[in-house]
Amino acid sequence: MCGKYILEWLDYLITVSLNPAKNDDATVTDEQIKTILTQMAEEKTKFQSRLKNYVFGLTKEKQIGLFLNQYHSDLIILLDQALINSKAIPGKKKTLKRLANETITCVDELLSFVETRFSDYLCLDQRVPLTYLSVIKKELRPRIDKLNLKLSKQITDNQLRNIVVNSLLYFIDNDEGNRVTFQELFYIKELLKELEAIEALEENKSTYSSLDRILIYLNFNNTEYMNYLTQKIANKINTHDDVSKRMDCLLIHFKEFNQMHRKLGIALYPQQIDLKDELSNWFSQEIFYLEKKLHFSIVPLKDKVAGIKEKTPVEKEKSKVLCVLSTDQTALVLRAADELKILIAKSMNEVFKTIVPYLSTPYKENLSYDSMRSKSYVAETRDKEIAIQTLEKMIKKIKEY
């Protein structure tokens, strides 16, 4: 069924009939262009219909993927040639130039059809050809400008609007086009489509606005946005003076966050940490911190009733510094500080022995310096990532001083 090339007519029109390199004397009348445009519309409809029939006629996922990727590549090649044709045709041949531009539109629409309807089968890790990328960027630019105007009228939070719009504009304006993959391109197109479709963006009842819900759904793991969101939640929580009320508020926000829908397998930056993982870790650390504050606020009340003898160990607990990192994560930071000679002692063992007794973590009150030192050599990847993220946040905070 798939043996016949279903782009034959359009292929010949672009590679031969309108190609100045092969047909430099080509001319076309208004009547002929009308006929060709009618035929082009018919061929476009035929291609879409035949492509769907062929795909549904195949039974193996691998065959479907190979078939669709082949036609997707063919369309990109034809688009490149159509652009070359349009640039090479002299400006005085206005009718021919118009036809050449109509073919660009036709091929672009066919590409959009394949990418929208069958994106799950396309090889998204491949690099986007520069010519095709330039066409897409020209199409997206006015849409982003229109979206920016819409957001400026519908939301009062300029910080959030700037984060979203600047991310879209960065994709458009960066000059490293050869590094853009189809996965990144499809993400930007889907994000823009979702933002354009939403009607009301301002919500006062919930911390998470409609815009936040879209960004969370699409795993918009922009570091600036994740910092913005955690700070917004923290500001809401900090309006309560009572620790127990702050804990209740935090748990409600965490519950609401976990209940929001997320689309699997996509991200603004596929190589960076997932937004869900980052926010969940932040919530967990905040919950542990508030649990400790609740614990320390309750223990002294028991001491007054129990008597003087029980006050001594409580005072020792109070003298400790609570570190929200886990034992393994703290161990990594101390080891790095020792090896870089930020902390200088007779040995690394001396560093741990001196500092660790004065620390506690959300997971453990009394820490063994020897055990922590040992764990610094066998840390898991996840602990390394959290330690690095914490240090990066410290760097950012210092830059703000």
Summarised one tens digit per residue, pLDDT across range 55-85 is 888 878 888 888 898 999 899 999 989 988 8
Specify the number of domains making up the chain.
Answer: 4
117-138 pLDDT, tens per residue? 888 888 878 888 878 888 889 8
Same-domain check for residues 240 and 294:
yes
* Dihedrals phi, psi of 38, to nearest 5 degrees: -65, -45
Q: Are 85 and 19 in contact (CB under 8 A)?
A: yes
Distance from C-alpha of 100 to C-alpha of 117, rounded to nearest angstrom: 26
Q: Are 68 and 121 in contact (CB under 8 A)?
A: yes
Range of the domain at 228: 218-309
- Residue 152 included in any domain: yes
Q: 252: pLDDT confidence band, cut at 50, 70 and 90? A: very high
Of 202, 231, 257, the domain-final residue: 202
Same-domain check for residues 117 and 77:
yes
113 pLDDT exceeds 80? yes
- Residue 3 included in any domain: no
Same-domain check for residues 183 and 154:
yes
Distance from C-alpha of 101 to C-alpha of 115, rounded to nearest angstrom: 21
Of 98, 123, 148, the domain-final residue: 123
Same-domain check for residues 52 and 67:
yes
199 pLDDT exceeds 80? no
**Residue 264, Cβ density class (10 Å: 0-12 exposed, 13-18 middle, ≥19 buried):** exposed
Q: 300: pLDDT confidence band, cut at 50, 70 and 90? A: low
Distance from C-alpha of 89 to C-alpha of 80, rounded to nearest angstrom: 15
Measured in whole angstroms, the distance separating CA 84 from the mean position of its chain's CA atoms is 34
176 pLDDT exceeds 80? no
Q: What is the pLDDT of residue 218?
A: 95
Of 266, 286, 309, the domain-final residue: 309
Residue 74 has which token pair? 């063919």
1 pLDDT exceeds 50? no
Q: 192: pLDDT confidence band, cut at 50, 70 and 90? A: very high
Same-domain check for residues 37 and 58:
yes
- Residue 173 included in any domain: yes
- Measured between alpha carbons, how far is residue 80 from residues 91, 92, 130, 400 in Å? 19, 22, 9, 47
Same-domain check for residues 33 and 118:
yes
189 pLDDT exceeds 60? yes
Contacts of 389 (CB under 8 A, 6+ apart): 273, 278
| 265 conformational bin, left if phi > 0, alpha if psi -120 to 50, beta if neither | left
- Residue 20 included in any domain: yes
- Residue 87 included in any domain: yes
Q: 301: pLDDT confidence band, cut at 50, 70 and 90? A: very low
- Residue 141 included in any domain: yes
322 pLDDT exceeds 70? yes
Classified as helix, coil or strand, 227 is helix
Q: What is the pLDDT of residue 202?
A: 54
Of 288 and 294, which is predicted with more confidence?
288
Measured in whole angstroms, the distance separating CA 136 from the mean position of its chain's CA atoms is 19
Distance from C-alpha of 264 to C-alpha of 200, rounded to nearest angstrom: 25
Q: What is the pLDDT of residue 178?
A: 56
Instruction: Single out the residue of 278, 258, 285, 289 nearest to residue 382, CA to CA.
Output: 278
Same-domain check for residues 59 and 91:
yes
Same-domain check for residues 222 and 294:
yes
152-172 pLDDT, tens per residue? 888 888 899 999 999 999 988
Q: 209: pLDDT confidence band, cut at 50, 70 and 90? A: confident
Q: What is the pLDDT of residue 297?
A: 61
338-368 pLDDT, tens per residue? 888 888 888 888 888 899 888 888 767 888 8
Instruction: Annotate 135-162 with three-state secondary structure.
Output: HHHHHHHHHHHHHHHHHHHHCCCHHHHH
Q: What is the pLDDT of residue 116?
A: 84
Same-domain check for residues 270 and 346:
no
C-alpha triplet 321, 282, 300: angle, nearest 5°: 35
Q: What is the pLDDT of residue 314?
A: 44
Same-domain check for residues 82 and 135:
no
Same-domain check for residues 175 and 196:
yes
Contacts of 49 (CB under 8 A, 6+ apart): none
2 pLDDT exceeds 70? no
- Residue 30 included in any domain: yes
- Residue 149 included in any domain: yes
Same-domain check for residues 116 and 60:
yes
